[in-house]
Amino acid sequence: MSISLFKDKVFLVTGGTGSFGSTVISRLKEHHPRRIVIFSRDEKKQHDMRIHFNDDRLKFVIGDVRERVSLERVMEGVDYVFHAAALKQVPSCEFFPLEAIKTNILGGNNVIELAEAHHVKRLVVLSTDKAVYPINAMGMTKALMEKMMIAASRNLSDVKRQSVSLCGVRYGNVMYSRGSVIPFFIDQMKAGKELTVTNPDMTRFLLPLAQSVDLVFHALREGGNGNMYVRKSPAATVAVLAEAICKLFNYDKGYRLVGIRAGEKMHETLISEEEWLRAHDEGDFYRIEPESSGLDYEKYFAKGEQTPADMHSYTSANTRRLDVKETIDLLLTLPEVKMELEAFGK
């Protein structure tokens, strides 16, 4: 990617103290930005991040995307926005769906509208596989956030469309991100417990955090208005992942089955069958065009798309499936796993 895209530019990362924020900031710093604004609610994580990076180009702002006024204060003069702020935990959103609506939908709308109002060059919203055929509140709110971005991109004036781009990315299970299954398994091993597996045949995409950042950088570079971008990723069954971790750590207590929890899917879907009609293969990525580029109601009701014979979805069940050895090899690429292995004396 051209350094000129980053050099002397101002970046805003909402929810910037999470797993994604820490990684994307590390990468951005290498390309000489003028300023990176980290906007989040967590003062402790901001304090830790400030000490860790020790970089004058980083500006830390306490605020909430739900509060339009606090968000508007930081949007002035920003070139690029990564919108990562969200309620992401399925149980939390299931128990408190109104809170998910306030953050993921209304907060997302604040980011989208203010990015447009302040002529941000490109906004990349971060979404999830759970937004495709959603069955839980987290996925439903993320799906509506995507729809708001697409609708806003469709409504841009011809003049503004030349300088403002609104797009998004979608990814599945990011390996070793906060609340994901790998650190959960490792915590269970530290406690001397059996690993708990919901269903041995359940599949999950396995995407290293660094590759999730590659995805948002691809969207930052290519980012057509209303487009969603997906990174091609391998997958494994939950049983294979548990076996790989046990083998890697030489842990002999194994795992036990506990059953599928509320809000969980057997397989993750990153591109629906309906979206496959508009999906384009771009090497390591898929690009999904928006449903339409205008507000022609007559066209909407009178004209559709021809259904191709090979119409299918892109899921963790039909992507490349890793075996135990391949999963171990992928786990060993994660710095966090290497650190845990050292702590275990492996």
Catalytic residue from among 9, 130, 142, 232 = 130
Which of 79, 84, 42 has its CA nearest to residue 60? 42
Number of neighbours of residue 55 by Cβ within 10 angstroms: 11
Which of 214, 225, 221 has its CA nearest to residue 289? 225
Give SS3 for 220: helix
Please indicate whether residue 9 is annotated as part of the active site.
Answer: no
Q: What one-letter code names the amino acid at 283?
A: G
**What residues have CB less than 8 Å from 234, skipping those under 6 apart?**
205, 206, 319, 320, 321, 322, 326, 330
Measured torsion, CA atoms of residues 242, 244, 248, 252, in degrees rounded to the nearest 10: 50
Distance, CA of 313 to CA of 274 (rounded, Å): 8
Q: Where are the beta strands (DSSP E) in 80-134?
A: 80-83, 122-128
Tokens of 340: 């845990």
- In order, the DSSP letters of 22-57 are HHHHHHHHTT--SEEEEEES-HHHHHHHHHHH--TT
Active site positions, annotated: 130
